[in-house]
Chain A
Amino acid sequence: MMIRVENLYAGYGKIEALHGLSFEVDEGEIVTLIGANGAGKSSTLKAMMRLAPPEAPLVSRGDILFKGKSILPLEAHKVVEQCKMTLVPEGRRIFGNLTVMENLHLAAWTRSKEEIAGNLERIFDLFPRLAERAGQQSDTLSGGEQQMLAVGRALMTGCSVILLDEPSMGLAPLLMYDMFRTLKRLNTESGLTIVVVEQNARLALEVADRGYVLNTGEIVAQGSSEELMRHSHIKEVYLGG
């Protein structure tokens, strides 16, 4: 197992958000966490990324193992460096006052020039729109383009595990499908391990290998995507009948 979350309890101050969460992600898999608002999906990703409170929850019990080693003592930038794992955060969080190119270069700041060059080509191949807008200040991009930049930026870090927090948020349906198709392509062509948190459960399950269903900080169902899609209760609650 590449990532193993074991009996994770975490919360914000006195409010506990995750009550004993356990799940696994294997190398080269697409795993999705689905659930309603406030189920603890984003908190799980933030905790896995080791972001600092108060924005992220504080882990009180349990463990997060990366290739068998606990990453709880690490800070987020160390997780990026050592585990090659990064996050595409909710709401994109691109650097608005920098250009598209500067955003991408900043993401690659730990890497050599040769690595960057190959990576840039790949990103512009996946998202030709970004190449067109390379010199543009990134807060002038449209929502869809900003999401592409957020994903492109995550790829620029050279990470092999990418956590995505609601990549479809605020996108038109067509762009949403494009985004997930690109994620699938990254997974099959580059062997990227992807953990995606999504409100749009049907879309997420279509590309994912396996899924976990969260409800108020606990995992209530799990299985392969097909199993979850067939599951009558899940169908009713998350897939709209």
Chain B
Amino acid sequence: MSMSGRLLRIVLILLGPALAAAACRLAPILNEGHLSPAHTALIYGGLFLPLAAGAAAALSARLPACLFFILAAGLVMAAQLRFLDNYFLLVIMTMGINIIFASSLNLVNGYMGEFSCGHGGFMCVGAYVGSLISMAFFTSSKLFGASLLPPHLAPLLFPLVLIGAGLVSALFGLLVALPSFRTRGDYLAIITIAANYIIISLVENIDFIGGPRGLSGMNKTVGAMREVAEMPWMLIWVLTAVFASIVFLYRLVGSTYGKSIPAVCQNEIAAEIMGVNTDRVKLTAFMVSSGLAGVAGALYAHVYSYVNAQAFSILKSTEALVMVYMGGMGSLSGVIMAAAAFTLLVEGLRFAIPFINSLHILPAGYEISPVWKWVLIPLCLILLMQFRPEGLLGNRELSHFFPRLNKWMKRTSSEEEPDAHSGNK
């Protein structure tokens, strides 16, 4: 990369936080209501679009990244201008959380070929740790006393919550992995299920974090962010986290270090005699996987403003497994698609069943119960396993089926095409 290209990137990377800070300052003024909607749209457009395009160009000049940023900026703007109702936003955020949750499990169950089925446990750790960090940092609570940081910093320092939750979950992952990676296959499955149960019972029996009643102190942090500026903060953080984790996983599995993960899956001995430290690779992959599950958990807690250990039971772990096997083990794009589709299916059936009832096609007195959802979803999975056991994409990426996509995945080199950044003018 040329010197000027590198400089441009640095400027753009610095521009992002600067604009975000400006947005925080400006937003309270905008919310006073003196301005017409068109005017507001113009100002927000002016704020978000350069931010999005700049960040996209700066972080990665790949087309999918730019598309994601444009889509994300569109969603955030639409949410800001109240074009989208809260339910729709909740579905979008759940989808994002599911994408992180499933694609992190895919690293262990897909790329590494192990069978971990206690992924919900790590999400639980992340949810609680994230909530506690956010309560301690940004809110004054009975538990921690006065806030450690001024609450108005919450919108900018929220990533600390996610990072903290991720790190602690990764440590829990290490605790589970250390004794269990001497064994493989079925044994790991049993150990991870046990770990899931242990984590949930542990949380339910610690009284100061709410025990079985759950925890809801983190909603004050969301409130604090809202107070600084009335913006869809959680949507912004979910989208950012989705982008960051997908880029991270994509880079990881594409790197030479990452290639050692499927190599360990294929043949541990062969990997070892190539100089790959197989134990360390396995531990690293498991820690990354559980860490990202923790990030998903922290987001979940803040999006729903309430956590309860039972929400992360074996059912949650099963959901993650379903998404991974639906998308295809070892396919990042497949699992992302599956996570999105699964969320839509679960939410879609919520409406489809009352809709069918309202058509009055059934004899009078008969109604389909909403519980049928939990018959139809497993049925979909059974049918998928019957007719396409390798999942939507198998272990291949989307670009394998549409080779033209490969062209778009390549970095548009900034030396030859200075136009790549023209969107920021």
Contact = CB atoms under 8 A, between A and B. Distances in A.
Interface of A: 49, 51-52, 55, 75-77, 80-81, 86-87, 89, 93-98, 102, 105-107, 109-110, 153-154, 157
B270 to A, nearest CB: 4
Contacts of A76: 269, 272-273
Contacts of A105: 256, 259
B106 to A, nearest CB: 15
Contact of A107 (B257, B267, B274): B274
B259 A102 contact: yes
B333 interface: no
Given A77-B276, A86-B274, A106 B256 contact: yes
B395 interface: yes
Nearest to A49: B273
Contact of B263 (A49, A89, A106, A110): A106
Nearest to A139: B266
Contact of B257 (A52, A95, A109): A109
B262 A95 contact: yes
28 contacts: A75-B272, A75-B277, A76-B269, A76-B273, A77-B272, A77-B278, A80-B274, A89-B269, A89-B270, A89-B273, A93-B267, A93-B269, A93-B270, A95-B263, A95-B266, A95-B270, A97-B395, A98-B259, A105-B259, A106-B260, A106-B263, A106-B274, A107-B275, A109-B259, A110-B275, A153-B274, A154-B273, A157-B275
A89 B274 CA distance: 11
B283 to A, nearest CB: 14
A191 to B, nearest CB: 21
Given A51-B269, A93-B267, A109 B262 contact: no
The prevalent SS among residues of B at the interface is helix
B269 A109 contact: no
Contacts of A107: 274-275
Contacts of B271: 95, 106
Most A C-beta atoms less than 10 A away, residue of B270, B271, B276: B270
B253 to A, nearest CB: 12
Nearest to B281: A77
Nearest to A81: B275
A33 to B, nearest CB: 18
Nearest to A46: B269
A120 to B, nearest CB: 14
A98 B263 contact: yes
A20 B277 CA distance: 30
In the A-B complex, the 5 residue pairs with the closest CB atoms: A80-B275, A93-B270, A76-B272, A107-B274, A87-B273
Contacts of B260: 106, 109
Contacts of A93: 267, 269-270
B274 A157 contact: yes
Contacts of A102: 259
Interface range for B = 10 to 19
A94 B271 CA distance: 9
B273 to A, nearest CB: 5
Contacts of B259: 98, 102, 105-106, 109
Interface in B247-292: 256-257, 259-260, 262-263, 266-267, 269-278
A163 to B, nearest CB: 9
Given A75-B272, A98-B259, A106-B260, 17 more contacts: A49-B273, A51-B273, A52-B272, A75-B277, A76-B269, A77-B272, A77-B277, A80-B275, A81-B275, A93-B269, A96-B266, A97-B395, A98-B262, A106-B271, A107-B274, A109-B275, A157-B274
Nearest to A110: B275
B275 A77 contact: yes
A80 B269 CA distance: 12
Contact of A51 (B262, B272, B274): B272
Contacts of A109: 256-257, 259-260, 274-276
A109 B260 CA distance: 9
Nearest to B267: A93
Looking at B260, B271, B272, the one whose CB has the most chain A CB atoms below 10 A away is B272
A80 B273 CA distance: 7
B266 A97 contact: yes
A153 B267 CA distance: 14
Contacts of B262: 95, 97-98
A108 to B, nearest CB: 8
Contacts of A97: 262, 266, 395
Contacts of B275: 77, 80-81, 86, 107, 109-110, 157
A97 B256 CA distance: 15
Interface string B218-260: 0000000000000000000000000000000000000011011
B114 to A, nearest CB: 16
Contact of B273 (A86, A96, A98, A110): A86
A94 B395 contact: no
Contacts of B276: 77, 106, 109
B182 to A, nearest CB: 10
A157 B256 CA distance: 14
A153 B276 CA distance: 13
Nearest to B259: A106
Nearest to B278: A77
Interface in B313-358: none
